[in-house]
């Protein structure tokens, strides 16, 4: 027997086995939508956005979308073993599209719910909704009561994760659950699972429980944007007592930074820091001096900066890949005059970005450049300021020009601010001359009327919460409709009346801006905003003080706006 004939039989057998295994793999993957499919891409984007808003050191679960041809019996499920993954049915995606403008919000309700099972360590293989109620191999045995409790918790945290990611989950959840029962023709009672009515009651209960928290979060953001830092801090502290998430820790820390900065002399903070709302005003008024006991102020500043540092460190503990917390922590170190720690924090973030194959944000370059100047490392600071300008970091042009003036004028005498401050002060004031380009704007209205104060105050459905503080109390009274949230913020000295549009709002501003308008159109019609504020991820806010309107913008597209008025 030749060697060739000796190996021919085994080779044919091996080839047959290999083809069989390959065919089985193809058959398995044929049941899943390919990663290139647009439905998978949309679902993945929603999943990634919610996971990023939640923030966690653990890797996000894998996402699988069963194709309609697969005949799988899972509508939506988190499976913890052998590797955490979320499974969605393609038909579920189609059901969410029936919600029109709310389609992504509807999909986010389910994705957020399943992510909550993972992040809250539920370790339960059967989730809403499994069509037959048949147990899976990796299912951990739970009673119906235990499942109800887990579903309630997943609803609660899923709603909030989605909300932080920019989705109006709390408004849509009961509707998408009802649609799922209808579209999948599910029975009123699934084996070992809460009944339809119980399931809807759980969702509606969590929406009612969570709604005041959402109002408090929006109130905190609005108060911060309006520089009511003390009241904003109370709002975020209240939320932290209920939901200690990275976004909330970060926001609570930023309010402390803003409070501290308001107490500091401008010659100490001559750069515009990338957490500020309005460095333009602070620096243009550089001849102003704060009043009061200097020692007491310094002690208060140290306390506020220490609080901020603690909050940002906790946010990083939750999610070590959260750039905003690193940038704000570096700002804190710099204001504490610990420039080496500020530089080291950004260097650490740079390593994280390299691991994730992402670019270092412009604001990170900016604060590292500022810290290097204050550490008398002028030459090392230059590349950071260049990158900050290229990446359009906060007030990058001003910061770079100030750096260049310092470098060419004083070079190795950077620390002698007493001698050189009058020169800096004069240049700052000349740089920040009031713009003559912005139009004179009139206060905005919605539906040709001011905010219906009495309607909010007298509504039986209004959510009311009081955040008590002797000096800075906040009473929040709010209602929601399909198109807008209306809120009264009663402060110690006056009341803010606000309206926030939702994705369902089809109207326009007085100058014709609608949801979906491009940011360039906003600038064309309204001029440059009084100031901008960075939000989460690609979100930011454009504040127009004269018009009393704040646009919410994501990826250069208008997602909605606040309008407000003040009653004394």
With respect to residue 441, please indicate whether it lies within any of the assigned structural domains: no
In 3D space, the residue among 353, 352, 313 whose CA is nearest the CA of residue 330 turns out to be 313
In 3D space, the residue among 520, 482, 536 whose CA is nearest the CA of residue 504 turns out to be 482
User: Which string of b and e fits 196-205 if b means at least 16 CB within 10 Å?
Assistant: beebbebbee
Which stretch of 202-211, 276-285, 309-318, 330-339 has the lowest confidence by average pLDDT?
276-285
Please answer whether residues 424 and 267 qualify as being in contact, where contact means their C-beta atoms are separated by less than 8 angstroms. Answer: yes
With respect to residue 75, please indicate whether it lies within any of the assigned structural domains: yes
Taking the C-alpha atoms of residue 552 and residue 568, their distance in angstroms, rounded to an integer, is 27
To 10 degrees, the CA torsion angle through 104, 108, 110, 111?
Answer: 120
pLDDT digits (tens, 9 = 90+) for 105-143: 999 999 999 999 998 877 654 555 444 344 444 445 567
pLDDT digits (tens, 9 = 90+) for 507-562: 899 899 999 999 999 999 999 888 888 776 667 889 998 899 999 998 889 999 99
Please answer whether residues 508 and 497 qualify as being in contact, where contact means their C-beta atoms are separated by less than 8 angstroms. Answer: no
Average pLDDT, the chain: 81
Q: In what order do the strands lie in the sheet with 62-66?
A: 62-66, 85-89, 76-79
Based on the domain organization, do 268 and 385 belong to the same domain? yes
From residue 109, alpha-carbon distances to 166, 200, 207, 314 in Å are: 12, 13, 11, 27
Q: What is the pTM of this model?
A: 0.79
Given a cut of 70, whether residue 332 has pLDDT beyond it is yes
> Could you count the other beta carbons within 10 Å of the beta carbon of residue 100?
9
Taking the C-alpha atoms of residue 388 and residue 382, their distance in angstroms, rounded to an integer, is 10
Stretch 229-257: mean pLDDT = 90
Taking the C-alpha atoms of residue 213 and residue 548, their distance in angstroms, rounded to an integer, is 24
DSSP, collapsed to helix, strand or coil, labels residue 338 as: coil
Please answer whether residues 529 and 439 qualify as being in contact, where contact means their C-beta atoms are separated by less than 8 angstroms. Answer: no
- Phi, psi for 212 (deg, rounded to 5): -60, -35
Based on the domain organization, do 501 and 421 belong to the same domain? no
With respect to residue 52, please indicate whether it lies within any of the assigned structural domains: yes
Which tokens in the block code for residue 278? Answer: 């309005």
The domain in which residue 11 lies consists of: 1-30
Which tokens in the block code for residue 167? Answer: 């989705």
Which stretch of 19-28, 192-201, 405-414, 473-482 has the lowest confidence by average pLDDT?
19-28
Based on the domain organization, do 2 and 127 belong to the same domain? no
DSSP, collapsed to helix, strand or coil, labels residue 104 as: helix
Based on the domain organization, do 61 and 12 belong to the same domain? no
What is the SS3 string spanning 61-101?
A: CEEEEECHHHCCCECEEEECCCCCEEEEEHHHHHHHHCCHH
DSSP, collapsed to helix, strand or coil, labels residue 127 as: coil
Cα 466 to chain centroid, rounded: 24
Based on the domain organization, do 294 and 272 belong to the same domain? yes
Higher pLDDT, 417 or 496: 496
Task: Show Cβ contacts of residue 13 under 8 Å, excluding neighbours closer than 6 positions.
Answer: none
From residue 304, alpha-carbon distances to 329, 331, 344 in Å are: 13, 13, 22
Cα 498 to chain centroid, rounded: 21
In 3D space, the residue among 96, 98, 119, 97 whose CA is nearest the CA of residue 109 turns out to be 96
> Residue 43: pLDDT band by 50, 70, 90 thresholds?
very high
With respect to residue 493, please indicate whether it lies within any of the assigned structural domains: yes
Based on the domain organization, do 483 and 411 belong to the same domain? no
Q: What is the pLDDT of residue 409?
A: 64
Please answer whether residues 498 and 190 qualify as being in contact, where contact means their C-beta atoms are separated by less than 8 angstroms. Answer: no
With respect to residue 165, please indicate whether it lies within any of the assigned structural domains: yes
Based on the domain organization, do 200 and 257 belong to the same domain? no
H helices of 356-390, in order, are 362-374, 378-390
Split into its structural domains, the chain has a count of: 4
Based on the domain organization, do 322 and 461 belong to the same domain? no
Q: What is the pLDDT of residue 560?
A: 92
From residue 280, alpha-carbon distances to 89, 266, 277, 283, 394 in Å are: 51, 12, 9, 6, 11
Taking the C-alpha atoms of residue 275 and residue 534, their distance in angstroms, rounded to an integer, is 8
Based on the domain organization, do 314 and 463 belong to the same domain? no
To 10 degrees, the CA torsion angle through 75, 78, 80, 82?
Answer: 40
Q: In what order do the strands lie in the sheet with 495-501?
A: 463-467, 474-480, 484-490, 495-501, 557-567, 549-554, 539-544, 531-534
- Phi, psi for 138 (deg, rounded to 5): -95, 15
With respect to residue 438, please indicate whether it lies within any of the assigned structural domains: no
Higher pLDDT, 210 or 257: 257
In 3D space, the residue among 243, 194, 197, 189 whose CA is nearest the CA of residue 216 turns out to be 243
Based on the domain organization, do 134 and 162 belong to the same domain? yes
Please answer whether residues 78 and 61 qualify as being in contact, where contact means their C-beta atoms are separated by less than 8 angstroms. Answer: yes
With respect to residue 447, please indicate whether it lies within any of the assigned structural domains: no
Please answer whether residues 560 and 503 qualify as being in contact, where contact means their C-beta atoms are separated by less than 8 angstroms. Answer: yes
Please answer whether residues 107 and 43 qualify as being in contact, where contact means their C-beta atoms are separated by less than 8 angstroms. Answer: yes
Q: What is the pLDDT of residue 10?
A: 39
Taking the C-alpha atoms of residue 4 and residue 521, their distance in angstroms, rounded to an integer, is 75
Task: Show Cβ contacts of residue 436 under 8 Å, excluding neighbours closer than 6 positions.
Answer: none
Instruction: Give the number of residues written for the chain.
Output: 568
Based on the domain organization, do 73 and 170 belong to the same domain? yes
Cα 472 to chain centroid, rounded: 26
Stretch 45-58: mean pLDDT = 85
Given a cut of 70, whether residue 297 has pLDDT beyond it is yes
With respect to residue 484, please indicate whether it lies within any of the assigned structural domains: yes
Residue 557: strand pairing partners = 518, 554
> Residue 416: pLDDT band by 50, 70, 90 thresholds?
low
Residue ending a domain, choose from 364, 399, 431: 431
> Could you count the other beta carbons within 10 Å of the beta carbon of residue 130?
22
Based on the domain organization, do 279 and 416 belong to the same domain? yes
């Amino acid at each position: 027997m030749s060697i060739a004939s000796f190996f021919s039989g085994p080779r044919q057998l091996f080839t047959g086995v290999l083809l069989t295994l390959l065919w089985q793999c193809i058959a398995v993957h044929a049941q899943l939508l390919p990663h290139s499919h647009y439905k998978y891409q949309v679902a993945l984007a929603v999943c990634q956005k919610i996971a990023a808003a939640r923030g966690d050191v653990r890797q996000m679960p894998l996402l699988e979308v069963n194709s309609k041809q697969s005949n799988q019996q899972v509508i939506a499920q988190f499976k913890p073993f052998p590797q955490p993954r979320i499974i969605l049915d393609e038909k579920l995606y189609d059901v969410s599209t029936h919600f029109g403008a709310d389609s992504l919000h509807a999909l986010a309700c389910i994705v957020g719910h399943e992510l909550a099972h993972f992040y809250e360590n539920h370790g339960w293989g059967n989730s809403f909704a499994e069509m037959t109620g048949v147990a899976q191999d990796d299912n951990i045995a739970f009673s119906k009561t235990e499942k109800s409790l887990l579903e309630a918790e997943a609803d609660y945290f899923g709603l909030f994760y989605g909300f932080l990611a920019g989705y109006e989950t709390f408004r849509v959840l009961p509707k998408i659950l009802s649609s799922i029962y209808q579209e999948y023709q599910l029975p009123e009672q699934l084996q070992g699972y809460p009944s339809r009515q119980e399931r809807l009651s759980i969702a509606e209960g969590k929406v009612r429980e969570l709604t005041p928290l959402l109002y408090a979060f929006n109130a905190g953001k609005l108060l911060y944007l309006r520089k009511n830092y003390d009241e904003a801090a109370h709002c975020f502290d209240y939320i932290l007592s209920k939901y200690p998430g990275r976004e909330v820790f970060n926001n609570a820390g930023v309010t402390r930074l803003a409070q501290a900065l308001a107490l500091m002399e401008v010659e100490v903070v001559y750069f515009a820091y990338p957490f500020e709302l309005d460095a333009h005003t602070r620096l243009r008024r550089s001849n102003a001096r704060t009043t009061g006991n200097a020692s007491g102020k310094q002690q208060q500043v140290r306390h506020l900066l220490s609080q901020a540092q603690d909050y940002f460190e906790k946010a990083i503990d939750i999610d070590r890949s959260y750039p905003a917390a690193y940038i704000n922590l570096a700002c804190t170190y710099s204001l504490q005059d610990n420039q080496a720690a500020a530089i080291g924090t950004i260097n650490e973030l740079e390593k994280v970005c390299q691991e994730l194959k992402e670019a270092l944000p412009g604001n990170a370059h900016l604060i590292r450049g500022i810290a290097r100047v204050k550490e008398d490392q002028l030459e090392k600071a230059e590349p950071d300021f260049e990158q900050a300008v290229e990446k359009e970091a906060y007030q990058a042009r001003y910061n770079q020009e100030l750096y260049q003036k310092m470098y060419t004028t004083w070079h190795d005498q950077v620390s002698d601010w007493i001698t050189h401050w009058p020169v800096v002060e004069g240049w700052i004031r000349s740089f920040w001359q009031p713009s003559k380009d912005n139009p004179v704007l009139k206060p905005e209205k919605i539906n040709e009327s001011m905010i219906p104060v009495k309607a909010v105050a007298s509504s039986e459905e209004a959510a009311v919460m009081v955040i008590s503080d002797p000096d800075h109390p906040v009473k929040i009274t709010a209602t929601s409709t399909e198109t807008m949230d209306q809120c009264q913020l009663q402060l110690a000295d006056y009341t803010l009346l606000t309206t926030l549009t939702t994705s369902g709002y089809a109207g326009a501003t007085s100058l014709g801006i609608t949801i979906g308008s491009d940011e360039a159109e906003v600038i064309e019609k309204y001029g440059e905003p009084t100031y901008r504020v960075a939000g989460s991820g690609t979100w930011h806010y454009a504040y127009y003080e004269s018009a009393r309107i704040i646009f919410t913008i994501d990826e250069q597209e208008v997602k909605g706006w606040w309008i407000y008025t003040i009653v004394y």
